[in-house]
Amino acid sequence: MSDKVYNVLFLCTGNSARSIIAEAILNRIGMGRFKAHSAGLHPKGEVHPFALQFLKGLNLDTSFARSKAWDEFAAPDAPQIDFVFTVCDKAAAEACPVWPGQPMTAHWGVLDPAAAEGSEAERHLPSPKPTGC
């Protein structure tokens, strides 16, 4: 078995919730075989408080969490990305950047917790229907 660590990039529009959550979870369950990263096509500049609360509820470290642009991973000193997953329909529909080595790409549509509406209690409930980014 290879000792290679695979770099995974979760890409969304705002990089404020879904991609951050995916990054934290894969870094925990990847058991050292995967190093997850996240970025946004148009980052919001802050991580959504519900995303941080959710991760803390899973006993996951949130000190890494920051909203950042995808171009950090196109820089010469960036890790070579092996897999790119778009996690929102809007990001999947946009032209994705090209990374060296052209990593494997896939779309994994996930509801946007940052787009939840209603009272605070209602915003913590899972949404029954998909929303855009």
* Active-site annotation, residues: 12, 88, 96
Query: Do the strands 6-12 and 83-86 form a parallel or antiparallel pair, or are they unpaired?
Result: parallel
Contact 16, 114 (CB under 8 A): yes
82, two tokens = 């092996």
Three-state SS at 70: helix
Q: How many Å apart are CA 74 and CA 102, to the nearest integer?
A: 11
Spell out where the chain has E strands: 6-12, 34-40, 83-86, 104-107
Contact 10, 51 (CB under 8 A): no
